[in-house]
Structure 1
Amino acid sequence: MNERYSRQELFAPIGQVGQKKIREARIFVLGAGALGSAGAEMLVRAGVGRITIVDRDIIEWTNLHRQQLYTEQDVIDQLPKAIAAEKRLTAINGDVAIAGTVVDVTPQNVLDLMEGHDVVLDATDNIETRLLANDAALKLGIPFFMGACVGSYGLSFPIGVQDNQPCLHCLLETLPSQTLTCDTVGVISPIVVTTAARQVADVLKYITGTSFVPKLESADLWTGDRASIEVKSMKKAACPSCSENAVYPFLTSRESMKTAVLCGRETVQLSWPESRKFELLPFAESIRGTVSKLIHNPHLVACEYNGHRIVLFRDGRMLVHGTKDIVTAKKIAAGLLG
């Protein structure tokens, strides 16, 4: 028995056999923010063999209250999250092969990034990337452990661990509002740790071969409300992402976000597919306390946010003024739209 993992091996459902399987596991962590840093740390301490951490962002002061791997010095040094996470996690467990990659996940690169892993841990901060990852994991046949939290509410669901279960695309219409974000309504760290713990517990069950029924788990730690739902009946027979005739729409340009830097202007245009519908009035109300100079009418919502002028049109286009950088524009959109 390895002394380092002795208490984990004493846990009967894992044991020495399970620990060996954990040691052989290759984990892909999509996002190194709150959920990603918490989940990655748990998995590294558990002794997984290899972890790849992908994130496009740098560490900011607003991250530190809930993103537990990072320090004030990381903010001062303007370190990318993936690099700081790799450094910190390597210091925690040098036996784990850890690779941090600073990149924006897109339909063009997601399959190459995910391939060769046994599990995908979802820790992304927006629904577009989450749906893209759902399609990529399904196409590659890799289980996708979805997780999300905002305010004091979090939910998790393991996808692809059993036959004939729904995917994220199947459940999209039944999930809570996708317009609430940490930037608009905030988030508290206890729900981050709770949600990440549920994700990682399911990952460990899967890795060690423990039989379990995948459930949609949700909790609001402020109100005390909790739910655990079997959602097998919600699988859609004609789902374009997980049916027998799957076409993985979010891996195609038709269903992915389009970006363009407008000629002669410091403006980036982001365009969402028709399947992503925006209700302007609810959106305007959801960001009222977060933005300034808010204007909304039947055609658009305009505001100022983080030093940029933002205009969201009813047809699914957003203009982000004051930048030519697509990654910056996508980060701003994720902060407002989720």
Structure 2
Amino acid sequence: MNDRYSRQELFSGIGKKGQQAISQKHVLIVGAGALGSGNAEALVRAGVGKVTIIDRDYVEWSNLQRQQLFTEQDAAEKIPKAVAAKERLTKINSSVLVEAITGDAGVQELEGLHKDVDVIIDATDNFDTRMIINDISQKYRIPWVYGACVGSYGISYTIIPGVTPCLHCLLETVPLGGATCDTAGIISPAAGMVVSFQTAEVMKLLVGDLEHIRKKLVSFDLWENQHTSISPGTLKKEDCPSCGSRPSYPFLRYENQTKAAVLCGRDSVQIRPAMKGDRDLERTAQILSKTGGRIERNPFLLSYENSGKRLVLFKDGRVLIHGIKDIAEAKTIYHRYLG
């Protein structure tokens, strides 16, 4: 007798009926870092029918402190995160179908992945991708669970199309910068806490228990012993272009996406943020100064050099990444240091 899920079935919120439902569902995880690997392992152990993981990056030594699916060998061989995750996950539960996609989670990619997805998990490291996920969610009526962490801080929020405010209602615009794990560090318990919030919400969605979905946006700081939850229900906007009465899904349009291009005749990539706006070079310099790289400034731009790559940031938001021609790698570097 196979009692693999017996303890989960004994839990009144799931039961045998809920376990059967879980085994037939498909979860898309965008990102295979700390949040992505943690959610993937929990859901594969829980017996979800199919898990699709998309990530453009490879395993590095600095990942091993918190990204639980990966090994020293993965880092030494620079194995793509999605590939390494699939190899580990299939050893954990061979009955779960795991699909690994090594690539950028852009509009075209997510448009092609949404068709049979029941829930989307945000495990990315930037708001560009999150806003695309948000519009995909609203357009195709797929619930998703937002999550982020840096330092000892974490945040999570469950978004159900037609029911809750969407991320666009809450944020309205994409931030041009902010702290990242590479600039502010991170402790693994913070990532683990966000994973717990996200996975619990996903399991509620998979068994159809909408009554117990957390209605609040929750945030915490484990080091400072702080915990906050707010009810964002009143923030839902009738005229929101993503979830309002006349949605236009702005972040699925080309003009609202981050642009990246290899500069002709130069070993450089230019990245232009989707949203126009002045970048605070002084604040950015303060954030980057924590990474140990070399910083130079003049009234017009900021130059930052680290690990053989040089980033030149302009006040209008543009960034030149020198010493590279691969756009996917350039995006990884961009989001690693600039959020």
Give the partner amino acid of 1:191: A
Change (3 A) 1:235 1:299: farther
Matches of 2:321 and 2:205, distance apart in 1: 42
SS at match of 1:180: coil
How far has the Cα of 1:176 moved from its partner? 9.7
Q: Which residue of structure 1 aligns with residue 85 of structure 2?
A: 85
Query: 1:249 and 2:255 equivalent?
Result: no
Q: Which residue of structure 1 aligns with residue 204 of structure 2?
A: 205
SS at match of 1:193: helix
Give the partner amino acid of 1:305: N
Q: Which residue of structure 1 aligns with residue 220 of structure 2?
A: 219
Matches of 2:123 and 2:173, distance apart in 1: 20
How far has the Cα of 1:9 moved from its partner? 0.7
Change (3 A) 1:276 1:244: farther
Q: Structure 1 stretch 164-173 or stretch 176-185: which is displaced more?
A: 176-185
Query: 1:110 and 2:110 equivalent?
Result: yes
Q: Which residue of structure 1 aligns with residue 50 of structure 2?
A: 50
Matches of 2:315 and 2:297, distance apart in 1: 11
Matches of 1:49 and 1:88, distance apart in 2: 16
Instruction: Report Cα offsets for 1:251-270 as digits up to 9, x if no partner.
Output: 11111001111111001000
Change (3 A) 1:88 1:324: same
Q: Structure 1 stretch 267-276 or stretch 188-197: which is displaced more?
A: 267-276
Matches of 2:8 and 2:277, distance apart in 1: 44
Gaps of 5+ in 2: none
CA contact (8 A) 1:38 1:193 kept: yes
Instruction: Report Cα offsets for 1:15-63 as digits up to 9, x if no partner.
Output: 1111111111100010111100000000001110000011111100000
Matches of 1:29 and 1:273, distance apart in 2: 23
CA contact (8 A) 1:51 1:98 kept: yes
Change (3 A) 1:271 1:177: closer
Q: CA RMSD for the aligned pairs? A: 1.8
Q: Which residue of structure 2 aligns with residue 27 of structure 1?
A: 27
Instruction: Report Cα offsets for 1:237-288 as digits up to 9, x if no partner.
Output: 2211111211111111111001111111001000012356532221111111
Change (3 A) 1:73 1:36: same
CA contact (8 A) 1:310 1:319 kept: yes
| Match runs of 1:141-290 below 5 Å | 141-160=141-160, 163-172=162-171, 179-210=178-209, 211-212=211-212, 213-275=214-276, 278-290=279-291
Matches of 2:305 and 2:326, distance apart in 1: 17
How far has the Cα of 1:332 moved from its partner? 0.8
Instruction: Report Cα offsets for 1:304-334 as digits up to 9, x if no partner.
Output: 0231111111112100001111111101100
Give the partner amino acid of 1:118: D
How far has the Cα of 1:177 moved from its partner? 9.3
SS at match of 1:130: helix
Q: Which residue of structure 2 aligns with residue 294 of structure 1?
A: 295
Q: Which residue of structure 2 aligns with residue 125 of structure 1?
A: 125
Matches of 2:225 and 2:189, distance apart in 1: 12
Matches of 2:238 and 2:314, distance apart in 1: 33
SS at match of 2:108: coil
Matches of 2:313 and 2:173, distance apart in 1: 24
SS at match of 2:146: strand
CA contact (8 A) 2:127 2:174 kept: no
SS at match of 1:155: strand
Q: Structure 1 stretch 309-318 or stretch 43-52: which is displaced more?
A: 309-318
CA contact (8 A) 1:145 1:156 kept: yes
Change (3 A) 1:57 1:174: closer
Identical aligned pairs, as a percentage? 48
CA contact (8 A) 1:166 1:232 kept: yes
SS at match of 1:218: strand
CA contact (8 A) 1:118 1:143 kept: yes
Query: 1:324 and 2:301 equivalent?
Result: no
Instruction: Report Cα offsets for 1:111-160 as digits up to 9, x if no partner.
Output: 10232110001100111111111111211111111110000000011112
How far has the Cα of 1:104 moved from its partner? 0.8
Q: Which residue of structure 2 aligns with residue 66 of structure 1?
A: 66
Give the partner amino acid of 1:58: Y
How far has the Cα of 1:169 moved from its partner? 1.3
CA contact (8 A) 1:29 1:51 kept: yes
CA contact (8 A) 1:35 1:193 kept: yes
Give the partner amino acid of 2:303: A
Aligned residues, how many?
A: 337
Q: TM-score, normalised by structure 1?
A: 0.95
How far has the Cα of 1:299 moved from its partner? 2.5
How far has the Cα of 1:215 moved from its partner? 1.5
